[in-house]
Amino acid sequence: MQPVYVRNAWYLAAWANELKPGEPFTRTLLDEPVMMYRTGDGTPVALEDRCCHRSLPLSLGKIEGDRIRCGYHGLLFDAGGRCVQVPGQSLVPPGSGVRRYPAVERWRAIWLWMGVPAAADPALIPNLYWLDHPQWGAGTGQMQIKCGYQLIVDNVLDLTHLSYVHPRTFGTLAIAESPARYERVGDQVRIIRWILDSKPPGVMMRNRAMDGNIDRRQLITFLPPSVVTIEGWFGPAVAGRDQRAEPEGGFGICNVNALTPVSATETLHLFAEAQSYAPKDDAATNKLFTEVYDTFLEDIEVLQAQQRALLERPNRPMIDINADAGGLEARRIMARLTASDAARPAA
């Protein structure tokens, strides 16, 4: 299998609180080992996790101020990836250094640009305002999942699976029975589903004490290559509701998913859950987040079994159903973006 990624894009590499001062931190993105650290003023740095001398991961070395020293023979690198000292000799061989990845801290997260550094425009970072907006309270977490990121994109773009995989938390049978429509906005896909006049899901009974029938809206947005947001709205059941109008009253939650490829068959799923009903109430935020975490544990089992089945028998045919429409549109967009990214000059 030849993994193909969109390289000229921002990827969420870590939550900001995972990157601690003075401690090398390592992750693999798009098959590339990356080490991250913070300089003295807290600026995030991301370098290739491999010394240019004998290939030891730099993350086994020691941070010295704004720089990192290799733990094998002591070569010293600055935050730009340049080798600035070789112990025992006065000259550094010209051109010695390691690859640097543009790094930006935004939305309580560290974003890395995996393509040509000159093309790294922070304005292209997806808008995830829920993560540090005063009217929202948000918890964050992550899981490493043994499946390709595209399977998780499929998963979150088709929420009919909530009815069968997550009946204890977010799922009700009414979801699978309620058709969704999708629209394309530039390279993004938006999928909208109304679930009308039906029982609230378990998670909302527990967190918001809902019990009578409700109206519920799911608004899923695919932000290529690998971020998906799921905005949920819950409110009173209204007869003859106008499904084109923005709902009023009620409250919202937002599930943010960054599906950062580790390899063709492994993904770092960084996720957040925000709620607008009690933005300052950390206990309420944590209680909801815990249910989201448990919900994704259910997905892991499905996703990994699916990936194993695809690897073991790659050529079996698959059928599509109506609920796949939004996901298939996303796959078409990705095929085009991947091809045009591969055609881009490398430097």
179 exposure class (CB count in 10 Å sphere: 0-12, 13-18, 19+): exposed
Q: Is 96 in the site for a copy of itself (CB under 8 A)?
A: yes
Query: Distance between CA atoms of 75 and 96, rounded to whole angstroms?
Result: 10
Of 17-25, 54-62, 244-252, 277-285, the window that binds a copy of itself (rule: CB under 8 A) is 54-62
Our CB check for a copy of itself shows the closer of 221 and 307 to be: 307
How many residues touch a copy of itself under the rule CB under 8 A: the total is: 49
| Selected binder of a copy of itself within 74, 202, 236, 279 (CB under 8 A) | 74
Q: Is 301 in the site for a copy of itself (CB under 8 A)?
A: yes
Rounded to the nearest whole angstrom, what is the least distance from the CB of residue 305 to a copy of itself in the complex?
A: 5
DSSP state, residue 92: P
Angle between helices 282-312 and 149-157 (to 10 degrees): 120
Structural tokens at position 290:
């815990």
Our CB check for a copy of itself shows the closer of 283 and 347 to be: 347
Q: Are 50 and 56 in contact (CB under 8 A)?
A: yes
Q: Is 310 in the site for a copy of itself (CB under 8 A)?
A: yes
Q: Is 335 in the site for a copy of itself (CB under 8 A)?
A: no
Classified as helix, coil or strand, 184 is strand
Of 131-139, 215-223, 304-312, 329-337, the window that binds a copy of itself (rule: CB under 8 A) is 304-312
Q: Is 75 in the site for a copy of itself (CB under 8 A)?
A: yes
In the region spanning residues 135 to 194, those forming contacts with a copy of itself, defined by CB under 8 A, are: 154, 158, 160-161, 163-165, 176-179
Our CB check for a copy of itself shows the closer of 163 and 255 to be: 163
Number of H-type helices and E-type strands within the chain: 6, 18
DSSP state, residue 201: P
Closest CA to 190 of 152, 153, 222, 151: 222
